Amino acid sequence: MKYLVSILFFLLVSTNASKPILEEKPPLCGDNICVVQFNAAFNSANEVTWLEELTDCSTTTVDIMADPSLPQDYKIVVVPTILVLEDGEEVARFQANIMMTMETTREEVQESIDEIIMSKF
């Protein structure tokens, strides 16, 4: 019996040894200032359409259904949610209302970006 338990223990340890303890996720965007829209396919009608009009930053849209760990990693509780990131760290957050529509304007998000830039001077 000890022999069987030892073999099972060895197999369990050896199969888990090949898995990384913490998987390193690639960053959502690589630029200094980045604006990320988190949304889901079921809410595509409420997607923010003016994201590409923002200046002095990179932009990306992420479908939270494609990677279920993202809502937990970025504390997304409603879609769409817009995060302004500086060097990967959250600087500003804009969330949709209870109807899952974004009331935040492009000007408000651009103002957050401009404040980041001005703070460097």
Q: Residue 87 has which token pair?
A: 């060097």
What pLDDT was estimated at residue 17?
A: 44
Task: Give every CB contact of residue 114 below 8 A, 6+ residues apart in sequence.
Answer: 56
What pLDDT was estimated at residue 25?
A: 62
Alpha helices by DSSP H, the chain: 2-17, 70-73, 106-119
What pLDDT was estimated at residue 29?
A: 76
Cα-based torsion angle of the residue sequence 88, 65, 92, 30 in order, rounded to the nearest 10 degrees: 20
Q: Mean pLDDT per segment of 10 residues, for the chain of length 121 residues?
A: 49 46 62 92 95 95 91 94 94 96 97 94 86
CA angle, 89 then 75 then 57, to 5°: 35
